[in-house]
Amino acid sequence: MLKSEEKKDIIQYVPFMSFVHPSFWHSLTEMKLNVDKLNESTKQVFGRYSYRDDTVSVFEVDGTSFNTNPEIELHYINVTGTLMNKNTIEDFKNIDKASLINSVGEIMRANIQTKSWIDNPNNLLNFFILSFADLKKFHYYYWFAFPAPSQPIVCLKEKCQNISTYFNEKQIKDISKSFQVLETTQKCFFAIIKNNDTAEVVKLSKILDKNSKELKINLTNTFFAFADHSNGPNPGWPLRIFLAALLDFCPNLSKTTIQIIGIRCSKNGSLTSSQIYNITVPEGVQTPENIGWVGWERNDRGNFGPKLANMSASMDPVKLADTSSDLNIKLMKWRLVPDLNVDVMKNTKCLLLGSGTLGCHVARDLLAWGFRHITFVDNGKVSYSNPTRQVLYTFQDCLNGGKRKAEAAADNIKLILPTVQSQGLNLHIPMPGHPIGESLKQETITNVKLLTEAIESHDVIFLLLDTREARWLPTLISAHYGKIVINAALGFDSYLVMRHGISSVPKETSMNSSYVSGDQLGCYFCNDVTAPGNSAKDRTLDQQCTVSRPGAAAVAAALAVELLVALLQHRLRVKAPALYNITDEDIDSELQGVLGPIPHSIRGFLHSYQTVLPTCTKFKQCIACSQVVINKYREEGIEFLMKVFNSGTYLEEITGLTELQLTAEMTEILTFSDEDQENTDDA
Amino acid sequence: MSSITPEEFVHTAKKFIELSDKFFDSWSFHQNDNDILKTYVKKEEFVNHRDEGEKVFLYRAEYIIFYNLSYGVPSFSFNIWNSSGTLLTLEEVRQMSLMKISKEDFYSVITQQEHPVMHRPYFIIHPCNTEKILLYFKHTTKNLIVTFLGLITPLIQLNLPLEYGL
């Protein structure tokens, strides 16, 4: 053991702190993927440190570290090292770190013993990187080592002193000049000889004779010098290996004081902040038979252990796509709509019933607005006529009978943004007045169950189906669960986009009110006095499938998504009021959201390029969302639904519509009397 | 005309590098003879940042000034990373800022985007206001890039030697 008074003086070296630039990981990744692949053999890399007095003690590696020749940078020393990149995290963890550094040390010892370092002093320094690259996550585990022998232990005779205590101004200038012209490979370790009024920098090979163990120089005016990265009172790490090499070359040095200069330069190249260390070698503390190698770097917690670089945010293309698309929404918030809630879109789950022209357009607009949960429902397959209008599909999806639409849409939207959470449900939505045969009964029950679960687990239900009656079941189930419903429907050159209210109990609205509370708004069926029957019956082929001007779907889908976003951004959400009359004039701020007032419905006509915004309240005899229908559904469940599917008139009966129609026909007859017509005109 | 041509930018950049060399600032000139729009000036430096708990962190900052074709002005971009090579987020950069600037204002000026020259994500100061301000200085300044840097300095820690003669 050391005695305590000796311990005080034992030299403390300033270790290197590894500093990895992002380009190092970029180059390593490229090399691993394109060149090395599974090859684990070590490779030569370059690192560098600066002896500037105004920088910290860092040891840097970057993209150029893999070059065949290192880049020369002013006031930097290049160091040759070794990279060992393991293929698995287990190999990285389990490799014996002590024997690894010793094996590097043995090579360095051979370099010392053959004295080849005297001609190439920079080769004395060495470093080692053990790494494992998880290229799926862009996580890089790494551990630097700067190997140096644990022996000899040396002491500082006195505190370090500034170079000016030994050299005058002129001599320091001499040193600066001759140091500047010294070859780069000699700049790490060299010697300085002080004469009466001059000083000169000499290569080690000038003063150390490889064939002799004795120094033929005057030690009183010879200083050994090294490029010192430290900027405190202790010398930098390279001195450790330098002293070991010097003492191995000439053991007699241990009997004298060794004068060392730590070269430190300022940004203009002056060496005035260089330090002088006087080194002595104490007797009795050396244990030559047990020399090991030290130099593994400590991690950020101060332990000997590896570090982790998580580069996913800047290297993982999936992350980059995700953050970049979020940025567009954030920009909107930062620049134009400061009250915009960005997270609400991220967290809202959308269910798209129908994955055709409307469904595809709606999905893309949702994506653009930052929605990240989109579920598609459809029971069709992609056909050759689809891709030109249904913007999520391609020709490939039509081949071999066509992929299932809902699944193809979910797959393809992930090609646009991989982080979107999307799935497809292939199911047929049963419809009123479309009788279910015995053979399809079980399947229908399953489909109702799947649809119910899907509606329950989403926040917003989009009705984008191609028939009127297919919208009935989801309207009812959504009303039961109180979900936000956005409905879009197309005619040939017209479209309807609307939101549904959620309350099944209609309230009397005052005739003088300028708006309808959002929950009191009518649904798609509230304004109809007939129950949905088989609307495809008695139609020609072109009427059976929706034929509409291609722009109608794009416009309607865009409006549907804008309507939803305006609603979600409103303080009252689904209860956001709908004005009877939306004008450009100032609207009470209570009645609008951060994106403006929110209409109940939008009817557009491409023929005349006009849009109207009708607002209607709930109809208490509505065949889809009235109290009586919801109650029946709650009480009887699937049995009630089956009755509806099998009968075209059952709904009209239970809601009293049959009765109403009779009354209506009577009114109609009365209205057409000449007398009434005149009265109306007068009014 | 308040904007400058790419040729003017390259000329100004060369003059700026002469100044930088003179004052031992470490800006470097990267000329691309095949594509003048890919010519830029760059500086890298270590930055010490003391957090609220007085703990000191060491970062490397890289600053790149390039020519923005759409606006016809110099554009400033940067990245800052820690010792493992991980880039700082914009929020972390904002908290390092010398000037106490509101979150909204900061975010409205600086956004992360793919760099038009480096083709990797960088923080870029939006050029929309640069044009207006530079117009004001265009005929009086000795070097437009020096003026430009002076305008940006409060946003991020950028040690601009006083010798540039601001």
Active site residues of A: 545
For residue range B15-63, list pLDDT tens digits in order.
999 998 888 888 999 998 889 999 999 999 888 888 777 788 899 999 9
**Does A2-150+298-316 match A321-648 in CATH topology?**
no
For residue range A80-139, list pLDDT tens digits in order.
999 999 999 999 999 999 999 999 999 998 889 899 999 999 999 999 999 999 999 999
Give CA B118 to chain center in angstroms: 14
Q: pLDDT band for position A540 (50/70/90)?
A: very low
pLDDT at residue A534 is higher than 60: no
Chain B contact present for A20, CB below 8 A: yes
The pLDDT score that the predictor gives to residue A363 is 98
Q: What is the mean pLDDT of residues A156-175?
A: 92
Chain B contact present for A18, CB below 8 A: yes
Domain A321-648 sits in CATH at 3.40.50.720
Residues A493-515 as b/e (b if ≥16 CB within 10 A, e otherwise) read ebbbbbbbbbbbebeeeeeeeeb
Contacts of B81 in chain A (CB under 8 A): 21-22
For residue range A209-223, list pLDDT tens digits in order.
888 777 778 888 999
For residue range A337-371, list pLDDT tens digits in order.
888 898 999 999 999 999 999 999 999 999 999 99
Question: How close A263 comes to chain B (CA, Å)?
Answer: 19
pLDDT at residue A25 is higher than 90: yes
Question: How close A403 comes to chain B (CA, Å)?
Answer: 36
Residue bearing tokens 């390259």: B10
Cβ–Cβ below 8 Å for B85 and A331: no
Cβ–Cβ below 8 Å for A313 and B87: yes
Chain A contact present for B107, CB below 8 A: yes
The fold adopted by the segment(s) A155-295 is Cytidine Deaminase; domain 2 (3.40.140)
Which top CATH class is B6-158?
A: alpha beta
Task: List the 29-68 stretch of B: residues with Cβ below 8 A of A.
Answer: 46, 48, 58, 60
Mutate to test the interface with B, among A137, A335, A336, A342 (most CBs of B within 10 A): A335
Domain ranges of chain A: 2-150+298-316, 155-295, 321-648
Point out which residues pair with A521 in neighbouring strands: A617
The helix-helix angle for B144-152 and B6-22 (nearest 10°) equals 80
Quick one: what percent of chain A has pLDDT higher than 90? 60
Residues 6+ away with beta carbon under 8 Å from A616: A516, A521, A522, A526, A527, A600, A601
Give CA A657 to chain center in angstroms: 55
For residue range B2-15, list pLDDT tens digits in order.
578 999 999 999 99
Strands annotated E in A135-274? 139-149, 155-156, 161-162, 189-194, 199-202, 222-227, 258-263
Domain ranges of chain B: 6-158
Tell me how crowded residue A93 is: count the other CB atoms within 10 A of its CB: 12
- Rounded Cα gap, residues B123 and B111, in angstroms: 5
Residues 6+ away with beta carbon under 8 Å from A535: A467, A468, A469
- Rounded Cα gap, residues A417 and A190, in angstroms: 58
Say which of A20, A25, A334 has its CB closest to residue B83: A20
Cβ–Cβ below 8 Å for A56 and B86: no
Mean pLDDT over each residue of chain A, to the nearest integer: 88
Chain A contact present for B84, CB below 8 A: yes
The pLDDT score that the predictor gives to residue B1 is 47
Residue bearing tokens 């419905």: A601
- Rounded Cα gap, residues A377 and A369, in angstroms: 21
| CATH number of A2-150+298-316, picked from 3.20.20.370, 3.40.140.70, 3.40.1080.10, 1.10.645.10 | 3.40.140.70
Chain B contact present for A59, CB below 8 A: no
Chain A contact present for B100, CB below 8 A: no
Contacts of A140 in chain B (CB under 8 A): 84-85
Strands annotated E in A195-318? 199-202, 222-227, 258-263, 275-280, 293-296, 307-310
Strands annotated E in A176-221? 189-194, 199-202
- pTM: predicted TM-score of the whole model, two decimal places: 0.77
Say which of B24, B46, B112 has its CB closest to residue A327: B112
